[in-house]
Amino acid sequence: MQMLRVPPYLIDMAQFDPDPHVTALTKGADVVVFDGVCVLCSGFLKFMLRHDHAGRFKFVIAQSELGEALYAHLGLKSADYDTNVVIVEGRIYTKLDAFAAAMGALGGVWRVAQVVRVLPRPVADWLYNRIARNRYTIFGKTDTCLVPKPDVQDRFLA
């Protein structure tokens, strides 16, 4: 029996002509763009910092100038930052595929989380959208954006 592979929901950065400032800051880096006031998103950031022992990922707060530029460039609405963005090896992933790409890049036991990629696109998008729309109600929201601690400040691009 052949296993069905669902292709990732990705955009190749080479297909775009981004702002040179954005390209200069993200080139060669794997990046997680996250909502800086969302408790769930900040929790994911803390998880990534704790488990990314190789220091592979850099981070961008969505509400920052660079975060806004990335969202605008990808045609994503930035009013509520309900779409997370992960860049791995020059490819831009969004929604549930962003989570899967980040987990895969962490390696080890975390690769198991990529199983979410087998969900049919309508199911994956429905699930992601429900959580994203209700994340402040379910998990909470802070009054200000997360401020990186000095020991990890060099991992933040913006």
* pLDDT tens string 11-24: 544 455 545 555 55
CA 39, CA 138: separation in Å to the nearest integer? 9
**In the prediction, which pLDDT does 105 show?**
94
Cβ-Cβ contacts under 8 Å for 109 (sequence gap 6 or more):
none
Instruction: Write the DSSP string, 7-70.
Output: PP-EEEGGG----HHHHHHHTT-EEEEE-TTBHHHHHHHHHHHHH-TT--EEEEETTSHHHHHH
* pLDDT tens string 49-63: 999 999 999 999 998
Tokens of 145: 């954006």
- The answer to whether residues 145 and 61 touch, using CB atoms and an 8 Å cutoff, is yes
Residue 130: is its pLDDT beyond 80?
A: yes
CA 35, CA 15: separation in Å to the nearest integer? 25
* pLDDT tens string 93-114: 889 999 999 999 999 999 998 8
- Residue 75 vs residues 70, 103, 112, 143: alpha-carbon distances, Å: 9, 25, 30, 26
Regarding the domain delimited by 20-139, which CATH topology (the fold level of the hierarchy) does it fall under? Glutaredoxin (3.40.30)
**In the prediction, which pLDDT does 157 show?**
86
Phi and psi dihedrals of 6, rounded to 5?
-95, 120
* pLDDT tens string 65-75: 888 888 888 88
User: In the predicted model, what is the mean pLDDT of residues 27-44?
Assistant: 88
Average pLDDT, the chain: 82
Residue 140: is its pLDDT beyond 60?
A: yes
